[in-house]
A and B are shown apart, each in its own frame.
Chain A
Amino acid sequence: MSTGSRGISRRAFLRSLICGAGGVAAATLLNGCKPAGGAQGGSTEAAVPTKVGAPAEAGTGGITLRLWSHSNPAFVKANEAAIQKWLEQRPEVQIKYEYFPYDEFIQTIQTSMAAKNEADIIEMFGSWVQSYAKGGTLSVAPDDIMSLAEARQLFYAAPLDGYVWEGKLYGFPNEYNLENGGVLVNKRMFEEAALAYPPEWESWEELVTDAKKLTRFDGETMTVAGFHYVTGDGLGFLFWEGILERGGDYFADDRVHLNLLTPQAEATTEWLVGMAQKDRVVDPMTFNPESNWVGDSFFQGLVAIGYIGPWIVPVARENHPDFADPWNYVSCPYYGEKMSFAADSGWGKVVSPNSKGIREAWEFAKFATADAANARAWNVGTGTVPALKSVAEDPTLLNDLDWLGPSLKVLPYGRYVGMLQDRDFVWYNVVATHLVEALQGQISVKEALNKMHEEANAMIDSKIG
């Protein structure tokens, strides 16, 4: 073996590798310096930093706006289609679109708002909007774009109320966000268990009776969950709905703090815990927000009845293209005489006050949400419940979204969940976290309620303090 020549050739190879890498590095960094073609540049200038939020003026009167959303593939496609249509009418206002996974999306919004380089238009979740509006990081809709009175005519109150803070309008909703009123059902499993399909339940008891027959075990291990409702979003929706339908309220008398130490809250929690522990329709150890999330496990054939909003359908079709079982989205029961639930205000468009094209940004926001045809296309693409009344009330909508019927039926019974200061904290860190603990039998119902009550109110105190 001529180790000498091997050494040299190896060294030469390494050297060329290093040179090549250096060249690539220089080119990439330098490329980042100049406003790159098409893309919005200017932020990587080291010596003379330019303001990142400033859209590059392209030619006479031309402007480029940035749009951010989260990265649900169906939402991305729907927004891309809206941009396409916008460009046909307004070619002078370019839109550069970027999207992020949910967790990173929230962090990105916050860090970029601190740097004032957030996108001109952000597809924000309605139940976050009030918190940002309160912090002064959103722009108010100009009256001649849309007044609050006009908006009340056009949109359902439940989604719109999330976009209103102190009498001012901070954006327009695309979606009425609810998981109440509908569940996914697996036809094969119903037939194998010799149950009526599609099911028509009159009460929760009937659903649970079916669910027990659908649950499958392998020894002690649950292989199929009869009714899987142990999700980060779902538990919140069921909890609020249960309280409201039992005649209670989760807000305290000051309408700012929460009161979860009510008999109604306790009864609701007992009921949620009972389904897991007494009826054993779901094993919250294996089926929970972290493992076997309902949005995946239903479409992997591990769940017979799944509690989740209709928006999951396009996502599941993308993520689980090979799921062969036939399924439907059917109405699910409610407690008591009349349905009454709290909805999240849904996804919609808000505008940055740092935008160099606030006017154009608002025009796009309106174009994407308040124009019936565009709004409908967006809802059809994302499988979401329309926030725009005219779209939801159009009977032909069901031709495009045949699974949406159960959700549309319950819309009149919903109201906006209210200003929770930090919606995700209340929903996930407080309510879902402690309900899951109670469902798993780690803490009692009373302990869960005490923890939820204390932690939610402590957060609220810190935000209003």
Chain B
Amino acid sequence: MDTVQQISPALRRRARSGLRPFVVRALVYLLLTAGCVVTLVPFLWMLGTSLKSSTEIIRLPPTLIPEQPTLQSFRTIFEDPRVPLERFFLNSTAVSVSVVALVLFTSSLAGFVFAKYQFFGKDLLFTLILATMMIPFQVTMIPMYLILVRLHLTDSLWGLVVPGATSAFGIFLMKQFIEGIPAELIDAARIDGASEFGIYTRIVLPQMGPALATLGIFQFMGTWNDYLWPLIVITTTERRTLPIMLTWYNSQHGARHDLSMAAATLVILPILIVYFLFQRWIVQGITLTGFK
């Protein structure tokens, strides 16, 4: 019934005009719903598997839905002294939040300068920044690792934060946004005696809410889900991040699908919560920036 009420007015107009459009409509909804099922089934399978008991997990043929759902696998992970889960969680949070804070600061400041100041070599510098966007991380990861070795930053959370403190894309994005801030606003502040940094903090930053949110969310998700770099940099257990813990746990219990799916659920959950909270900005952000 709900669906009928929610069909757009234009559609209702057309739906009244004949049977064929109605069939088409129904097909469209059927198709979209089927797509949703395909999208959701892996998540449900993950959840279902994580709720199976250790005996049910090896039953043949496998059960589709857990017959006696149990939180046994989650309990096993939480009680495993070798998996300091809250430590991994803290590490992931610390690294992601620090990177986000640094990127937002450096990108907005540099973006501001590029957008609103004239100086010699500006275009060249900006082109240079754009050029670095073309260098993929996988090409520089080997020397980057060697640099961290020389800075004694391997096996340290700083090793995850330091290389990510600036973002060429962030600067580009911020410049585009700040160019939209009227010059009169800035000139007025200058006449009122504001310092240049004061203009940045009191005039520019408050205008940047949505742009900062977008950049921040994507940077957060990117850093949170990052796998290859922490895999290379971190060795000590207590300094690992959640995605590393995931494969680490999995290869230890390769055949224990209940445990590895429970671990996957635990990693996916926080990011889903962030997603549902910030959904609007995420979708807006993509459409605005095409950022990934």
Contacts and interface: CB of A to CB of B under 8 A. Distances in A.
A111 to B, nearest CB: 6
Contacts of B58: 300-301, 320, 322-323
Interface stretch (B32-40, B126-134, B233-241, B283-291): B233-241
Interface in A74-111: 76, 98-104, 107-108, 111
B248 A104 contact: yes
12 contacts: A21-B93, A21-B97, A24-B93, A25-B98, A29-B98, A32-B156, A46-B158, A98-B235, A98-B236, A104-B248, A107-B231, A320-B58
Q: Which 6 A-B pairs have the closest CB atoms?
A: A28-B94, A49-B152, A25-B97, A101-B251, A296-B255, A25-B94
A14 interface: yes
Contacts of A112: 154-155, 235
A213 B154 CA distance: 55
Interface residues of B, number: 46
Given A24-B90, A98-B236, A103-B251, A29 B157 contact: yes
B150 to A, nearest CB: 9
Contacts of B278: 14
Contacts of A25: 93-98, 101
Given A25-B94, A104-B248, A111 B277 contact: no
B252 interface: yes
B55 interface: yes
B155 A52 contact: yes
A117 B155 contact: yes
Interface string B144-183: 0110110111111110011000000000000000000000
Nearest to A39: B238
Given A25-B97, A44-B239, A112-B154, 7 more contacts: A28-B94, A32-B158, A43-B155, A111-B154, A115-B152, A115-B154, A321-B54
Interface string A38-68: 0110011010011110000000000000000
Contacts of A39: 238
B12 interface: no
A22 B93 CA distance: 9
Which of A50, A108, A299 counts the most B-chain CB atoms under 10 A from its CB?
A108
Contacts of B210: none
B69 interface: no
Interface of A: 14, 17, 21-22, 24-29, 32, 39-40, 43-44, 46, 49-52, 71-73, 76, 98-104, 107-108, 111-112, 114-115, 117, 293, 296, 299-301, 319-323
A307 B280 CA distance: 56
Contacts of A108: 235
Nearest to B150: A115
Nearest to A71: B252
A98 B54 CA distance: 27
A76 B155 contact: no
The A contact surface, by secondary structure, is helix
Interface in B61-119: 82, 90-91, 93-98, 101
A355 to B, nearest CB: 15
Nearest to A76: B82
B247 A101 contact: yes
Contacts of A102: 251
A169 to B, nearest CB: 27
A323 B145 CA distance: 45
Nearest to A50: B152
A167 B90 CA distance: 48
B232 interface: yes
A32 B255 contact: no
A114 B60 CA distance: 47
A176 B96 CA distance: 45
Contacts of B154: 52, 111-112, 115, 117
A21 B216 CA distance: 13
A320 B255 contact: yes
B256 interface: yes
B251 A322 contact: no
Contact of A319 (B95, B97, B148, B253): B253
B232 A43 contact: no
B198 interface: no
B254 interface: yes
A25 B92 CA distance: 9
Contacts of A117: 154-155, 235
A336 to B, nearest CB: 36
A76 B237 CA distance: 14
A103 B90 CA distance: 25
Nearest to B236: A98
Contacts of B96: 25
Nearest to B244: A104
A323 B58 CA distance: 9
Contacts of A98: 235-237
Contacts of A301: 58, 60
Nearest to B232: A111
